[in-house]
Structure 1
């Protein structure tokens, strides 16, 4: 995605922050990203019925599936329920709903006891419990062997001598066997097995299975996939070891895509750490879905709050969680020989160490930092330096050795553009930021 396009989209991202009253230090920072298409297409007037479950709704100007789902079910993430019930009307691409078109609004599947209703909610999308993943159908293989053994016994009972006469029948049987092989080859989209997506917890407001829709970034990713093609199957798993995502899970092919990840400045490889350089060389990045403000948190009474140069942080104990790029520190001249850097697994570990006086600063995305502080009940104890911060973008990544996953990244990029132009990106971001502001 070009820098020019990203800049053009920044204005809408900034509006998202302003709309939810984001703190003044961040209001001046553009927030960001891209998207295109499912808003009602024609700007003519029209009478819309109230959006209610178990009814019919006439599309009005400005509608999209998320808006309709929120009004009908109280949950915008249930847009797939409405889409599934109106595929013939909306179309396979789901990139356009026209004003005046009548959409069937199914009854709320959450109120139904029939388990068959579940698949229609997320199509082939599901959240996979990591604890259940090791369970495979492998134990059934011995059962198949037993079945073969049984057939051998049956073959032994009849006398094999009469076989010569049925030979013509065998020839006839050979002919029908060919057709089954043809459909098997044609329906060989076993390549359509679900894409395996992995993210992790403890990254509020972007990713956490306890957040609505799995977090803001999770919702953006799922909507981008839906916009790219509603029929794309995928599974989503939460694995909390973020470093394992890039060290093992993606390189081994165990998973196809991981999110969200900051893209280092790959255009300046000489200035990158070995870890960031490897990330640039080995991973494919999606178009940016969101832009973050990376800053420094410290005790509310710290003299470092007034610092206007990164040199003031030299010699300090800085905490930045494992899995987070250190490029923001190195770009500021805060290399490992100039600071005492600690790398715990969890963001909350950094703030607990800050509260205990074990570190002087926490280097983290502003929104993630605010969420972690609120979760610890320490709001008011810490503050972010308002002068020293950098902008980074968040992406979905795929290992370059996984051609299928790289192609999926390209498909998603198109979906991101459509999502932005439809207003769904703004809806997801503003809702998430509003919810976060209410919790702090």
Structure 2
């Protein structure tokens, strides 16, 4: 029988660690997102929306398979933090989220706009226009920093219906005054539900980036995030990223 040295044991442990890591990355990653966020994420959209297609193609470029489940937005972050899912998307960075999650390179970037009833005098470049108004903010949604600051100071009120489609209907009948989202998303949702009484207001509230999130308490989170970032870079270099954006009505 050959003598097993300490060096042999170290090599064996290293090989085992590499194999386990490879196995964790080789499995189909369970991802989760939410509906009613056209054109970026919705199981009814082609490829699940622009963000979904980018996310899955980026993982694919990195050699990883993935599959998507769809949950209410308010449950997605907790489901990732509990270990049920590897990652979720697309989310804006907030101080609260940064405590519990790692953020990928931006999946997409956008201009945040105000949407309100036709004829409203609200302006994204002059937030004094929204003071004492009622913002519609579904559970799981976050407000861009300038709006979040006003919320924290109780300068505006908040309504929290279940989803953005309900939000738009509330604004149309005067039960809320406005919502804020990426301009492309807002216009796409208005077109999807055929609502003409709510329109985009002038001015840009903020410019934001939206990301894939992995949980800090997951031992594989950094490897998954690195793989995604590498795949995303490949998509952009090859031109595939731009094609996906244009196919989904992006700019």
TM-score normalised by the shorter chain: which range applies? 0.7 to 0.9
CA shift, 1:193, in A, is 3.2
Please point out which of 295, 300, 319 is paired with 2:136.
319
1:309 maps onto 2:117 in alignment: no
Taking structure 1 as reference, are residues 407 and 315 closer, same or farther at Cα in structure 2, changes over 3 Å only? same
Larger radius of gyration: 1
- Whole-Å Cα distance in 2 between the matches of residues 263 and 221 of structure 1? 17
Which structure has the higher relative contact order (CA within 8 Å, separation 6+)? Answer: 2
Deviations 1:306-343 (A, max 9, x none): x7421121111111222111343445534351111112
Q: Deviations over 1:58-110 (max 9, x none)?
A: xxxxxxxxxxxxxxxxxxxxxxxxxxxxxxxxxxxxxxxxxxxxxxxxxxxxx
Q: CA deviation at 1:304?
A: 2.5
Q: Which residue of 2 aligns with 1:288?
A: 106
Q: Check 1:412–1:308 CA distance in 2 against 1; reply closer, same or farther (3 A cut).
A: closer
- Taking only aligned residues, the RMSD between alpha carbons, in angstroms, comes to 2.3
Alignment partner of 1:376 out of 177, 183, 193 = 193
Q: What do the CA deviations read for 1:327-366 (whole angstroms, capped 9, x no partner)?
A: 4344553435111111222111110100111011122222
State TM-score, norm by structure 2.
Answer: 0.85
Deviation at 1:278, TM superposition (A): 2.5
1:408-423 aligned at under 5 Å gives the runs 408-423=224-239
2:45 pairs with 1:211? yes
Cα distance per residue 1:392-412 (max 9 Å; x no partner)? 111100001112132111111
Q: State the shift of 1:390 in Å.
A: 0.9
Structure 2: gaps of 5 or more residues: 1-15
Q: How does 1:6-155 map to 2 (within 5 A)?
A: none
Does the aligned pair in 1 maintain the 2:114–2:122 contact within 8 Å?
A: no
Determine helix, strand or coil for the equivalent of 2:139.
Answer: coil
Q: How does 1:239-254 map to 2 (within 5 A)?
A: 239=71, 241-246=72-77, 248-254=78-84
Q: Give me the whole-angstrom Cα distance separating, in 2, the residues matched to 1:387 and 1:343.
A: 24
Question: Of Structure 1 and Structure 2, which has the larger fraction of its residues in strand?
Answer: 2
- Relative distance call for 1:344 and 1:336 in structure 2 (3 A) is farther
After superposition, the C-alpha distances for 1:107-155 in whole angstroms (9 at most, x for unaligned) are xxxxxxxxxxxxxxxxxxxxxxxxxxxxxxxxxxxxxxxxxxxxxxxxx
Check the 8 A contact 1:201/1:208 in 2, yes or no: yes
CA distance in 2 between partners of 1:315 and 1:401 (Å):
40
Q: Secondary structure, in 3 states, of the residue corresponding to 1:350?
A: helix
Out of 199, 202, 217, the residue aligned to residue 36 of structure 2 is: 202
Of 53, 57, 65, the residue aligned with 1:223 is: 57
The whole-number CA distance in structure 2 between the counterparts of 1:227 and 1:308 is 39
Gaps of at least 5 residues in structure 1 are 1-184, 265-276
- Give the alignment's TM-score, normalised by structure 1: 0.50
Partner of 1:172: none
Matched, 1:257 2:93: no
How many correspondences in the alignment? Answer: 234
Tell me, in whole angstroms, the C-alpha distance in 2 between the residues paired with 1:366 and 1:413: 25
Which whole-Å CA distance do the structure 2 matches of 1:343 and 1:218 have between them? 25
1:399 equivalent in alignment to 2:215: yes
